[in-house]
Amino acid sequence: QLQFVESGGGLVQPGGHLRLSCAASGFTLDYLAIGWFRQAPGKEHEGVSCIRRNDGSTLYADSVKGRFTISRDNAKNTVYLQMNSLKPEDTAVYYCAALYYCSGYPWPKADFGSWGQGTQVTVSS
């Protein structure tokens, strides 16, 4: 069974940075497109970034373009999200998930693999 464990969140001041990790078990990540999502209180999951399985190319939501970078380490079966120049509006619980594909927007979460517990990111002075 495909499972994800997210980590690396925390409290950071505006302009700060964090690196989130998404460790997978039950499947080899390099066979999957993977997406990072976030959910703020009272809102739906929002796609933040995704990485394709074949060539590793990446896409970003307009709200994070130029500030966030997604990457993968196939040897560690882990996907990362480097977040720089953080803003208060980036505050949310961040999740990773397998996707049916990483193109266009929004990115459809695959039915296999449930949401992990997420990691809280709070940007505040």
Per-residue pLDDT of 18-35, as tens digits, reads 999 999 988 888 888 999
Tokens representing 26 are 């039950």
Q: CA-CA distance, 79 to 93, in Å (whole number)?
A: 16
CA-nearest of 60, 48, 56, 124 to 91 is 124
Distance between start and end Cα atoms, the chain: 40
Q: 72-112 pLDDT, tens per residue?
A: 998 999 999 999 999 999 999 999 999 999 999 999 999 87
